[in-house]
């Protein structure tokens, strides 16, 4: 465990990389671009999964599992889709190894070449729609509301822990509907689920909106996104929900007989969030002392650190610590009592700060005498002494406070870094000198969007839902525009 963490203002990117590793969330593996998610990091992901999974089920979805491999021929059926993903696919070509001639190693057996190559899924629309074809004959078979928790592979050129890895974990929902209206409603429902999750569990404010045609998912007619602002002023796309129209139904010939007995193509959606959310969580709240976790996603919300001299005190402090632990557990609070005698209290304080545990309770001889505990909150680093009596209630309230406080802090940060530009010079000034979200008029063409990206590195993050309409002129071309859209530099 290193003692020093790079400061955010010195090198934000390095701060992030160090933090992920030092807080024991993940590390680079022996495999290029692939990470090992360590137990502490995985515990946070499991909390995210549990909350999201419940939200999916509450909105009528069920879980299923589809194959890791997709036959190459499936993959090419939807033209836009294959074009979007072709450049980053891992491909399985053989199914057997053999010993090399010199007996010292192994090699791919050339006789074991597959008839048809298999793509390691970068996303599962094609294999799922090929499957749905068999599940759907009648309007009575619809809707199908499936989700799967899975790993996918996208052969990215440059990777970063959680933010962009060659293999990542995610969930992908794939739904099939009888009508366009129903599919659109599903798409909107799921982006709302994502934004609720981001704001209520991750304590991370997000802006919901439509992607532009240029930024849309390969094969979608409309892509909704939630966009979060990180502490370095860059945006992070944190979840997407796609209205796929009838594209995949047509590509895989999925038709159903409606009530009138007429054959129609099925309407589709897909939606997903990934372990990238872990990166978002780290960057949204953490500080120069380490991770700051929202209580709702922290692997343990409270850590109790005993302070003692000698075996006699150790026994007493341990007894008192266990009692407090049980009281907290009865209040539904998750607690770790770190009674290891192999590390000193000061070491533990620093350790749990680095790991972002929302509340630390210190308990020593002084406290045993006075019937108190010292409670430190991670978000503000404030320390206060409270009576041991009713401590669970105090902690419970503090946890709620912390959850709320870090949300408000992130929201304030976003407010302070959201600008509205009325001309090109303002636009560039905000992007270069302030950083953050910049609203600006855009003429609606992909050509202009790309030109702006080329000049400023900023992209249109989204056209926010319920965006107020106002007449104006495109900041680049001066052509008429009906609304300002959200620009930012992004991850």
Please give the residue ranges that form the binding site for RNA (CB under 7 A). Answer: 1-3, 13-14, 17, 22, 28, 32-33, 84, 87-88, 154, 156-160, 163-166, 168, 170, 217, 237-238, 240, 272, 274-276, 289, 307-310, 341, 344-347, 349-351, 353-354, 362-368, 373-374, 376, 381, 383, 457, 490-491
Instruction: Choose between 279 and 444: whose C-beta lies nearer to RNA.
Output: 279
Instruction: Return the CA Rg of the chain.
Output: 26
Nearer to RNA, 305 or 485 (CB): 305
| Least Cβ distance, residue 305 to RNA (angstroms) | 8
Q: Which is nearer to RNA, 47 or 360 (CB)?
A: 360
User: DSSP label at 468?
Assistant: P
CB of 489 to RNA, least distance (A): 9
Minimum gap (Å) between residue 156 Cβ and RNA = 5
Shortest gap between Cβ of 458 and RNA (angstroms)? 10
Phi, psi of 459 (to 5 degrees): -125, 165
Q: Which two tokens stand for residue 220?
A: 């979608």
The smaller minimum CB distance to RNA, of residues 168 and 256, is found at 168
Residue 89 CA to residue 296 CA, distance in Å, equals 36
Nearer to RNA, 390 or 482 (CB): 390
Residue among 178 and 391 whose Cβ is closer to RNA: 391
Cα–Cα distance, 407 to 428 (Å, whole number): 29
The minimum distance between CB 470 and RNA, in angstroms, equals 28
> By 3-state DSSP, what share of the chain in percent is helix, strand and coil, each rounded to 5?
40, 30, 35
Distance CA 101, CA 113 (A): 19
Cα 186 from Cα 173, distance rounded (Å): 11
Non-local (6+) Cβ contacts of 273 within 8 A are 52, 170, 171, 194, 197, 238, 239
Task: Report the DSSP beta bridge partners of residue 481.
Answer: 472
What whole-number distance in Å separates Cα of residue 442 and Cα of residue 451?
Answer: 11
Nearer to RNA by Cβ, of 67 and 371: the residue is 371
Best CA proximity match to 200, nearest among 416, 55, 43: 55
User: How do 113-120 and 26-28 pair as beta strands?
Assistant: unpaired
Query: At its nearest, how many Å lie between RNA and the CB of residue 361?
Result: 8
């Amino acid at each position: 465990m290193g003692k020093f963490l790079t400061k955010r203002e010195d090198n934000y990117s390095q701060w992030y990389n160090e933090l992920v590793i030092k807080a024991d969330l993940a590390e680079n593996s022996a495999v290029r671009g692939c990470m090992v998610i360590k137990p502490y990091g995985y515990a946070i992901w499991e909390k995210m999964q549990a909350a999201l999974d419940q939200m999916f089920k509450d909105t009528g979805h069920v879980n299923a599992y589809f194959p890791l491999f997709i036959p190459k021929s499936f993959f090419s059926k939807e033209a836009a889709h294959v074009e979007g993903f072709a450049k980053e696919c891992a491909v399985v070509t053989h199914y057997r190894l053999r010993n090399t001639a010199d007996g010292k190693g192994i090699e791919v057996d050339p006789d074991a070449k597959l008839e048809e190559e298999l793509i390691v899924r970068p996303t599962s629309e094609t294999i799922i729609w090929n499957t749905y074809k068999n599940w759907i004959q009648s309007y009575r078979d619809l809707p199908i509301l499936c989700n799967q928790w899975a790993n996918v592979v996208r052969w990215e050129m440059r990777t970063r822990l959680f933010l962009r890895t060659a293999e990542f974990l995610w969930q992908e929902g794939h739904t099939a509907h009888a009508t366009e209206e129903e599919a659109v409603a599903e798409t909107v429902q799921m982006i709302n689920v994502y934004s609720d999750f981001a704001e209520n569990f991750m304590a991370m404010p997000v802006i919901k909106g439509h992607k532009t045609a240029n930024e849309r998912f390969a094969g979608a007619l409309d892509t909704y996104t939630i966009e979060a602002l990180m502490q370095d002023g860059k945006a992070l796309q944190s979840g997407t929900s796609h209205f796929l129209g009838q594209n995949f139904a047509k590509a895989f010939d999925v038709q159903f007989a409606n009530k009138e007995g007429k054959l129609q193509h099925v309407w589709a959606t897909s939606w997903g969030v990934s372990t990238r959310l872990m990166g978002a969580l780290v960057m949204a709240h953490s500080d120069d002392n380490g991770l700051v976790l929202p209580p709702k996603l922290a692997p343990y919300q409270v850590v109790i650190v005993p302070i003692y001299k000698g075996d006699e005190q150790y026994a007493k402090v341990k007894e008192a610590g266990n009692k407090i632990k049980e009281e907290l557990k009865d209040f539904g609070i998750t607690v770790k009592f770190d009674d290891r005698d192999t590390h000193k209290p000061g070491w533990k304080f620093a350790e749990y700060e680095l790991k972002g545990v929302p509340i630390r309770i210190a308990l020593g001889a002084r406290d045993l005498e006075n019937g108190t505990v010292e409670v430190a909150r991670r978000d503000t680093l404030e320390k206060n002494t409270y009576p041991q009596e009713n401590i669970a209630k105090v902690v419970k309230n503090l946890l709620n406070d912390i959850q709320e406080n870090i949300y408000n802090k992130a929201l304030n940060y976003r407010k302070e870094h959201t600008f509205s530009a009325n001309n090109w010079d303002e636009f560039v000034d905000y992007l270069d000198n302030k950083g953050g979200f910049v609203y600006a008029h855009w003429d609606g063409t992909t050509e202009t969007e790309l030109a702006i990206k080329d000049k400023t590195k900023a992209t249109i993050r989204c056209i926010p839902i319920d965006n107020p309409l106002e007449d104006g002129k495109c900041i680049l071309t001066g052509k008429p525009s009906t609304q300002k859209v959200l620009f930012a530099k992004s991850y």
